Chain A
Amino acid sequence: MLSRGNPVIALQDIHVRYVKGPPWARTFHHALRGVDISVQAGQMLGLVGESGSGKSTIGRICIGLLRQTAGTALFDGQALFGVGQRLPGAIGAVLQHPEWSLDPLMTIGSSVEEPLKRIKGLGKAERHDRVADMLGKVGLRGEFMSRYPKELSGGQRQRASIARALITQPRFILFDEAVSALDVSIQAQILNLIGELQQSSRFAALFISHDIAAVRYVANDIAVLYAGEIAEQASARSFYEPMHHPYTRQLQRASGLFVDENP
């Protein structure tokens, strides 16, 4: 837990229980068990863990798509669930596959502009200027505005989806495995872009990934999630040394770090 300033996102003692099966054969799965995390403006919190550890469940709570079973989830002091409807454009998300956020039938320009249409009081000319400006910031030249997703490379598409997430100047952005599907050489460009944009726009962010090497590069702090609980949380810098928690150490080895270390 961090204690500087008012957090943009604050999750306190969050429990999530998924219910499966018909009423006569109910089974329960505890996806999260008492998770506490908070993210300040300008801070990037990394979240690592393997499949089924609850990473994406936390992500869904943080963008207001899932209501927790117990605990408090706040965005700027307000309830998080449904925040997307109440405050359009306050939260953005960049997902693993850019195709999930870009409509194949819409040009890149219209896809990036779409979230702005939900914000009242913006004229067509102003929207157009903002889109051109934002595409420039993510390194896509003006000509990309009229192109379709299929005409772009994987890296360019991910840039476009980042532009779409940032266009409304959100206070919080979720990056859910945002670089996992990209080629090795493209990952570096996108990680640097995310870092630069965060420096200039000062949004709060949650960076979810299974790759500890990528997370420690972009995040300020890292929380390690194991079986629905935070196993360890520390500054990203400390992850450049072998960590104490055995599970974190296992993740570090799985990312190819500290492989020569004697057990």
Chain B
Amino acid sequence: MIEIKQPIIEVRDLVVEYKSHPLPVRALDAVDFTASADETVGFVGESGSGKSTLAMALGGVSRSGVRPSRGSVQTFGRDVFALRGQDRRRFLSEDIGFVFQNPIGSLDPTRRIGHQFFTPDGQPLNEKRVEELLSSVGLEDTGRIMASFPHEVSGGMAQRVCIAMAISVNPPLLIADEPTAALDASVKTQILDLLTELRARARSTLILVSHDLHSVRKYCDRVCVMYGGRIVEAGPSRDVFDCPRHPYTAALLRSIPGFEGPGGRIEPIPGYPPSLNGQASNCTFAPRCALQIPVCRENRPPVSVEGDRTKCCWLPGNEIGMEISQAGRGYHA
């Protein structure tokens, strides 16, 4: 695993399976992950790669309340899936802030925004504090916003309100699941700038789930690239995106517009994402991998660590011979 000074989150050998017929869907397949205080970690991957499941599992939250079939999640030294009742409620309301994709959908449509802020005990937050919070996320005219219903404000404003709620107790961990997917391009940068700034100010940890690789490269210190419920590559985000070591990372980067040069061509990843029903005993990317060798289809690849980078691949060495064109993205500029 990546060398980290003070891990506040430790995920070990985590397996999460959702019920399905005839075989369960293995959304997370033996995932190891750690994060320390004062950093931003991005989870990227295609739909169904397990990035949201992993991010939610860090807070002990899962779809239909499914518990891990194996492994553990320790966040701030507590086994989050073992927490019950009052302990769990306090943990979720005091230690973690969640920000979701659809800001207007995350708010109660029947209440004015000013009446939707509560303390962890369920008491309404006093007006002055709400005003303070709203101005700390860059909202002006707080009085009008507090008196508005969610449908009366724009998507960007509603997302700022959601962020204000998430940080109301200064949680040491903020989990943002696609916080900008429903927002306009120019609002997107504002929201990501805000999240990063708040994180840096509080020296907390931000987990950013996104399919937008350009944003993750810009805003995250580290990135975990997920495929088929596994972390296939992890490391400092700029290093991973500028010089990928896993064939999937390279293929993903070559398949999105923005990394190609003028007149260049983006190349779709051939084939389809793997079916996660049942347990895979090999490399799930092998059928789509241009560099596969026989062992890839037979055995699960080992996780290799080198410095601050890890990869889960059978190919030896770090040079996978997949240079990513620097021309199109202008990172050199």
Contact = CB atoms under 8 A, between A and B. Distances in A.
B260 interface: yes
A217 B186 contact: no
B268 A188 contact: yes
Interface in B241-270: 252, 255-258, 260-263, 265-269
A188 B267 contact: yes
A217 B255 contact: no
A192 B214 contact: no
B257 A254 contact: no
A217 B266 contact: yes
B186 A257 contact: no
A187 B188 CA distance: 20
B257 A217 contact: yes
B258 A256 contact: yes
A223 to B, nearest CB: 16
B272 to A, nearest CB: 8
A259 interface: yes
A191 B268 CA distance: 9
Interface in A220-263: 237, 240-242, 250-251, 253-261
Interface string A50-67: 110000000000000000
Interface stretch (B94-102, B144-152, B167-175, B323-331): B323-331
Interface stretch (A18-26, A106-114, A164-172, A206-214): A206-214
Interface residues of B, number: 37
Contacts of B263: 237
Interface string A175-209: 00000000111111101100000000000000000
A211 B266 CA distance: 15
Contacts of B212: 256
Nearest to A192: B268
Given A184-B256, A187-B256, A256 B218 contact: yes
Task: Describe B's contact surface by its main secondary structure.
Answer: loop
A216 interface: yes
Contact of A191 (B187, B213, B257, B328): B257
Interface string B290-333: 00000000000000000000000000000000000001111111
Interface in B178-234: 184-189, 211-215, 217-218
Contacts of B265: 192
Contacts of B260: 217
Given A183-B46, A188-B266, A216-B257, A260 B332 contact: yes
A241 B265 CA distance: 17
B214 A183 contact: no
A251 B331 contact: no
B195 to A, nearest CB: 15
Nearest to B327: A240
A188 B262 CA distance: 16
A97 to B, nearest CB: 14
Interface of A: 50-51, 183-189, 191-192, 210-214, 216-217, 237, 240-242, 250-251, 253-261
Interface of B: 46-47, 184-189, 211-215, 217-218, 252, 255-258, 260-263, 265-269, 273, 327-333
Given A184-B46, A260-B332, 5 more contacts: A184-B213, A185-B252, A187-B256, A213-B214, A261-B330
